[in-house]
Amino acid sequence: MSANIYLHELRARLKSVITWSLSVMLLVIFFLSIFPSFSEQAALMNEMLAKFPPQLLAAFGMGNINLADMLGYYGFLFIFIQLCLSIQASNYGFGLVSIEESELTADFLLSKPVSRWQVMNSKLLAALTSLGITDLVVWLVSLICILLVRGSHAYEPRILLLLFASIVLFQLFFLSIGLVISLLVRRVRSVTPYALGLGFGAYVLNAFSGMLGDVKLELVTPFRHFDPHYIVSHAAYDTPLVLINVAVSVVALVASYWLYIHRDIPAVS
Amino acid sequence: MSIIEVTNLTKYYGKARGIIDVTFNVDEGEIFGFIGPNGAGKSTTIRLLLSLIHPTSGSAKVFGQDVVAYGPQIRRDIGYLPSEVYYYEGMKVSDLLKYSASFYECDCMPRMHELSEIMELEMHRRISDLSYGNKKKVGIVQGLLHSPKLLFLDEPTAGLDPLMQRKFFDLIRQENTRGVTVFFSSHILGEVQRLCSRVGIIREGKIAEISDIKTLQQNNYKKVRVEAMGLTPTDFQLPGVTNLQVEDSTVHFFFKGDINSVVQKISGLQVSDVSIEEPTLEEIFMHYYE
């Protein structure tokens, strides 16, 4: 790890971290601020939801949830937090080394006396720090808002902790998958379409697997590995799926290191 | 002592040729010119030596150490000026140079300021606002600020105005007298002729010739021009004659070998004019590329 690369990366990503953190913060504040008025009419709402076809509800992540419950409601909102975080993490993953190559600064960096191993360590740590900052914001804002709006509604701190902790692994998945894909393709010209594709793709896959029922698509998407409704209703993770998630992330990371260390840096052409 | 030892170095990009079986040495303290047209493999060779890319086969050593295994250690003492300079667009010149300096274990600040003054660099400007020539100057300063022992210059003068080119060459000469070895890649022969003591000529990925620049000019080829009545190309069908051209009553050709055979041939003719001269590097170079 080289401190100078780490700091350089952090600085380069500062604006993006602030933007993402603010966006997620506003999302949380907005959704949770309407909870009090929402929960009053939740009985009506639940009644109405019951009339929708279950497949449709599943597609929107609204199957068997109780919106009148504090954490049931937060779980519903949590999917949107996850969606944001997945795009952010994918973005950092895809861009981690590919931006240096598409903006042609890789020559500068790699002709310095640092090993690829050190470069990757520093860049990964910087990306994880950036994601961690966003996590801190999500945690703090969520906690504060829940405490402010819950009123007489009870919530189970243990479940909230499980939800909070889940986003770290959730982000790691998208970061490492984005990274390994960026190293497998010849050249990533623009990071954003890839990141949106991966984030939304994983989300839609989860939604579809809800609609299609039997198809085991959910095995590959972290939106199912860390399905907030499962966590809220079971007060636990779906352990096998979480293990799959971690295994995939680790394999992708190891592969990324290998690919990067053996990579031919494309020349300016 | 050899600073660079390249042995049977080969690089393929998939099926596309990079370089094939390249072997050469660069000695300590010399300025080695590496000439060839675009796409001949000059940059590929430099990128292999910097381990930006990995060899398909063969090996290369810098400072006596293998470039693949000891890349980071070797690069401590290498300065690199790429042919196309790209830096972090959002950064200021001074920040970029400081970032560059932070990779080395020296106090590079005094040298950095000295170099920026020589190259008339505006330190407070953003990289994205700089013209190509000014970016090139940033490249020169960042390549030299850590006082490297070996310099890789990949077509360094493109984008520099003549005045800056001269300053740059003076700078390189100064570095060289301090003992710095220079690997100078270019397709502009004039500048190679001005600066280098030895040249390697690369053509379609293979080394065509390595020699002293003087030997290349003096001992290899003579440019012969003979003017006489009733000449035919067959008059000079001798071993060693190349590039034979006949215009009216004049014959031009290059000759390599024992010059006496040409002189004897000429003595048998009724000539009106004869000249035998050294070819320019340009002509030698063109000759290698036919």
Is B278 found in the same domain as B202? no
Is B229 found in the same domain as B151? no
Q: Which residues of A172-211 are buried (b: 16+ CB within 10 A; e: fewer)?
A: bbbbbbbbbbbbeeeebeebeebbeebbeebbebbbebbe
- On whether residue A186 sits in a domain, the answer given is yes
Question: Would the pLDDT of B289 be above 60?
Answer: no
Closest Cα to residue A138, out of A163, A156, A158? A163
Is B226 found in the same domain as B208? no
Is B227 found in the same domain as B212? no
- On whether residue A62 sits in a domain, the answer given is yes
Q: Do residues B150 and B62 make contact, with C-beta atoms less than 8 angstroms apart?
A: yes
Q: Minimal Cα distance from A12: which residue of B?
A: B90
Is B125 found in the same domain as B255? no
- On whether residue A117 sits in a domain, the answer given is yes
Chain A neighbors of B10, CB-CB under 8 A: none
Q: Could you give the ipTM of this predicted complex? A: 0.85
Best-predicted range by mean pLDDT among A83-92, B127-136, B202-211, B236-245? A83-92
Question: How buried is B275 (Cβ within 10 angstroms: 0-12 exposed, 13-18 middle, 19+ buried)?
Answer: exposed
Three-state DSSP string of chain A: CCHHHHHHHHHHHHHHHHHHHHHHHHHHHHHHHCHHHHHHCHHHHHHHHHHCCHHHHHHCCCCCCCCCCHHHHHHHHHHHHHHHHHHHHHHHHHHHHHHHHHCCCHHHHHCCCCCHHHHHHHHHHHHHHHHHHHHHHHHHHHHHHHHHHCCCCCCCHHHHHHHHHHHHHHHHHHHHHHHHHHHHCCCCCCHHHHHHHHHHHHHHHHHHHHHHCCCHHHHHCHHHHCCHHHHHHHCCCCHHHHHHHHHHHHHHHHHHHHHHHCCCCCCCC
CB contact under 8 A, A268 and B83: yes
Average pLDDT, chain B: 87
Is B90 found in the same domain as B23? yes
Question: CA-CA distance, B22 to B43, in Å (whole number)?
Answer: 13
Higher pLDDT, B252 or A67: B252
Q: Minimal Cα distance from A108: which residue of B?
A: B87
Chain B neighbors of A113, CB-CB under 8 A: 72-76, 103-104
pLDDT grade for A60, boundaries at 50, 70 and 90: low
Q: Which of B216, B243, B259 is the last residue of a domain?
A: B216
**Distance from the B195 Cα atom to the nearest Cα atom in chain A, whole angstroms:** 24
Instruction: Assess A99–B contact: CB distance below 8 Å, yes or no.
Output: no
- On whether residue A168 sits in a domain, the answer given is yes
Domain count along chain B:
2
pTM: 0.84
pLDDT grade for B30, boundaries at 50, 70 and 90: very high
- Best mutation target among A111, A117, A259, A269 (most B Cβ atoms within 10 Å) is A111
* Tokens describing residue A191: 């990071």
- On whether residue A245 sits in a domain, the answer given is yes
The SS3 assignment for B264 reads helix
**Distance from the B163 Cα atom to the nearest Cα atom in chain A, whole angstroms:** 26
pLDDT tens, A192-236? 999 999 999 998 888 776 666 666 766 788 988 898 888 988 889
Is B245 found in the same domain as B156? no
* CATH code for the domain of B262: 3.30.70.100
Is B229 found in the same domain as B192? no
pLDDT grade for A153, boundaries at 50, 70 and 90: confident
- The pLDDT of residue A21 is 96
- The pLDDT of residue B19 is 93
Of A2, A110, A118, Cβ closest to residue B52: A110
Q: Which of B193, B216, B239 is the last residue of a domain?
A: B216
- Best mutation target among B11, B66, B75 (most A Cβ atoms within 10 Å) is B75
pLDDT tens, B66-103? 999 999 999 999 999 988 888 998 899 999 999 999 99
Is B112 found in the same domain as B197? yes
- On whether residue A268 sits in a domain, the answer given is no
Q: Which of B201, B216, B231 is the last residue of a domain?
A: B216
Q: Given CA atoms A122, A125, A126, A127 in this order, what sign does their dihedral have? A: positive
pLDDT tens, B4-21? 999 999 999 988 999 999
Of B54, B75, B102, Cβ closest to residue A111: B75
Instruction: Assess B53–A contact: CB distance below 8 Å, yes or no.
Output: yes
Number of continuous H segments (helices) and E segments (strands) in chain B: 10, 14
CB contact under 8 A, A115 and B72: yes
Closest Cα to residue B112, out of B89, B96, B88, B128? B96
Closest Cα to residue B259, out of B281, B271, B274, B280? B274
pLDDT tens, A22-32? 999 999 999 99
Is B83 found in the same domain as B170? yes
Helix A3-33 vs helix A70-102: angle between axes, to the nearest 10 degrees?
A: 150
Q: Residue A42: what residue type? A: A
- On whether residue A269 sits in a domain, the answer given is no
Is B140 found in the same domain as B155? yes
Is B12 found in the same domain as B110? yes
- On whether residue A266 sits in a domain, the answer given is no
Residue A150 lies in domain: 3-261
Domain count along chain A:
1
Residue B270 lies in domain: 221-288
